[in-house]
């Protein structure tokens, strides 16, 4: 899966809390029993290989249960059968020695593993049936031997089964919920980016829609008047020319207005989008008023591309945005702490294309990876805005 920001540590914790703890409990419980000299050797000897097989199968199956989507049973059938056979051996051998507190440990773990692979309805039926069935083996052995431990022999395995299932499924459920929430945050961030692009497209459409419609109507009218009333047709054509000039001015006004606020707007939008994705974005900004429109647009595009890369290709928890104008140079620096490993780079052509545009404007664009840190730095000559 694609672990989101902040999930790596939680995944490690969940692994140790579920597969790691289960394996430790199995080894301690059955290992102690296998080393007990009061237990006959014929009963202790088979426990060692059965314990090893069951511990490995449990670790593999529980690790698979930590995937984003609940695993299906069919690909895990071999491991499930192996775990079931080993659990049967680990149950029968202690029962032969009337050890009512130990025999249910491995079967309870196996029930919890299977429950993790089922739907909610199937899980309820399995757990309920397992708890009821856990009353039978110990109770039957106690009745047959007449050892007066019927209540303990029947109830303790049932309680142990319920407790084991609860402790195993709880952390797995929390891990899956965290994964769904992280995917929802990333989706929210991507939608925020798309909304911003749609907003600009909507503004441009609103400005130009009326102009283009009037131009189309007057062009049709002028074509009809060209032969019958050339003077009026010429007048219509002059109006069309004026409309085209107006449309061009309005388009430039929209673009200039967008460019004048591109850098500030992109930084503001980036912090909002990154926060929605669970990334803590810190900013250190100076005023960009002394930059001309072209420089603001280029730096705004760098800000947008760097933000998109953080959302798509990183597992960042923190990001820093710094903009300064010193020594006649404007510098925009965007860094994050969640770069993918070097073997999984996703630089693509976005940064490379922007680098060419900045070099053509007398600037420079560089990006570097240092461990888990990825930094993009853009520089441009700081020219004062023309009055």
In the chain, where the domains are located: 7-183, 263-270+277-387
**pLDDT-derived band of residue 308, with 50, 70 and 90 as boundaries?**
confident
What pLDDT is recorded for position 259? 45
CA 241 to chain centre: 53
Check residue 254 and give its pLDDT.
Answer: 65
Residue 152: per-residue pLDDT: 93
In the block, tokens 């900013």 appear at 283
Tokens of 187: 């989706």
Q: Mean pLDDT across the stretch 284-288?
A: 80
Q: How large is the average pLDDT for residues 277-282?
A: 78
Average pLDDT over residues 263-286: 78
CATH of domain 263-270+277-387: 3.30.565.10
pLDDT at position 354 is 80
Helices (H), 72-149: 77-96, 105-116, 120-133, 135-145
Query: What pLDDT digit, counting tens, does each position of 176-207 carry?
Result: 888 888 888 778 878 877 776 776 676 666 66
Give me the phi and psi of 380, to 5 degrees please: -145, 150
pLDDT at 117: 81
348: left (phi over 0), alpha (psi -120 to 50) or beta: left
Over its C-alpha atoms, the chain yields an Rg (Å, rounded) of: 34
Mean pLDDT of 228-235: 86
Element at 275 (helix H, strand E) = helix 262-276
Kindly write down the DSSP assignment for every residue of 325-341, as one continuous string: EETTEEEEEEEES-BPP
Query: What is residue 290's predicted lDDT score, i.e. its pLDDT?
Result: 75
- Percentage of the chain lying above the pLDDT 70 cut: 85
The pLDDT mean for the chain works out to 82
Position 344 pLDDT exceeds 70: no
Retrieve residue 226's tokens.
């060209």
Candidates 71, 83, 84, 74; CA nearest to 172 is: 71
For the chain, what percent of residues have pLDDT higher than 90?
27
Contact 255, 295 (CB under 8 A): no
pLDDT surpasses 80 at 40: yes
**Torsion angle (degrees, nearest 10) of CA 17, 20, 22, 26:** -150
Question: Is residue 107 scored above 90 in pLDDT?
Answer: yes
pLDDT at residue number 128: 93
pLDDT higher than threshold 50 for residue 347: no
| Residue 375, strand partner residues | 335, 368
Residues 200-216 as b/e (b if ≥16 CB within 10 A, e otherwise) read eeeeeeeeeeebeeebe
Cα angle for residues 135, 141, 146 (degrees, 5° grid): 115
Q: How confident is the model at residue 3 (pLDDT cuts 50, 70, 90)?
A: very low
Nearest Cα residue to 326 out of 279, 272, 286:
286
Task: Tell me the average pLDDT across 236-247.
Answer: 84
Q: Higher model confidence: residue 64 or residue 384?
A: 64
In this prediction, residues 74-88 reach a mean pLDDT of 84
Determine the Cα–Cα distance for residues 387 and 28; give it in Å rounded to an integer. Answer: 80
Give the model's pLDDT for residue 232. Answer: 84
Most confident of 24-38, 58-72, 182-196, 227-241: 24-38
* pLDDT at residue 379 in the model: 92
Q: Which helix (H) or strand (E) holds 374?
A: strand 373-381
pLDDT at 85: 93
98 SS3 class = coil
Q: Is the pLDDT of residue 277 over 80?
A: no
Distance CA 266, CA 243 (A): 32
Q: What is the DSSP string of 133-157?
A: HTHHHHHHHHHHHT-S-HHHHHHHH
């Amino acid at each position: 899966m694609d672990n989101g920001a902040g999930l790596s540590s939680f995944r490690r914790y969940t692994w140790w809390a579920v597969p790691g703890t289960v394996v430790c409990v199995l080894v301690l419980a059955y290992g102690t029993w296998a080393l007990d000299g009061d237990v006959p050797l014929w009963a202790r000897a088979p426990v060692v290989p059965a314990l090893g097989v069951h511990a490995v199968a449990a670790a593999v199956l529980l690790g698979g249960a930590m995937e984003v989507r609940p695993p299906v049973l069919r690909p895990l059938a071999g491991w499930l059968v192996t775990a079931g056979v080993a659990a049967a051996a680990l149950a029968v051998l202690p029962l032969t020695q009337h050890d009512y507190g130990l025999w249910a440990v491995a079967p309870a773990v196996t029930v919890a593993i299977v429950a993790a692979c089922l739907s909610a309805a199937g899980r309820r039926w399995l757990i309920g049936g397992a708890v009821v069935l856990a009353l039978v083996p110990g109770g039957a052995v106690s009745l047959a031997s007449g050892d007066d431990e019927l209540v303990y022999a029947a109830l303790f395995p049932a309680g142990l089964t319920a407790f084991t299932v609860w402790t195993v499924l709880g952390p797995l459920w929390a891990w899956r919920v965290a994964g769904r929430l992280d995917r929802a945050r990333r989706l929210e961030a991507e939608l925020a980016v798309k909304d911003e692009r749609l907003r600009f497209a909507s503004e441009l459409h609103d400005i130009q829609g009326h102009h283009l419609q009037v131009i189309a109507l007057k062009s049709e009218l002028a074509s009809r008047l060209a032969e019958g009333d050339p003077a009026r047709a010429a007048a219509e054509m002059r109006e069309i020319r004026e409309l085209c000039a107006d449309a061009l001015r309005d388009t430039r006004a929209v673009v200039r207005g967008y460019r004048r606020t591109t850098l500030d707007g992109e930084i503001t939008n980036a912090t909002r989008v990154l926060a929605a994705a669970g990334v803590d974005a810190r900013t250190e900004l100076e005023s960009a008023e002394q930059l001309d429109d072209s420089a603001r647009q280029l730096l705004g595009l760098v800000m947008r591309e760097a933000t998109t890369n953080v959302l798509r290709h990183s597992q960042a928890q923190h990001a820093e945005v710094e903009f300064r104008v010193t020594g006649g140079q404007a510098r925009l620096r965007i860094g994050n702490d969640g770069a993918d490993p070097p073997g999984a780079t996703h630089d693509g052509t976005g940064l490379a294309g922007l680098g060419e545009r900045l070099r053509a404007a007398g600037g420079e664009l560089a990006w570097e990876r240092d461990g888990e840190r990825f930094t993009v730095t853009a520089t441009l000559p700081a020219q004062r805005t023309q009055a």
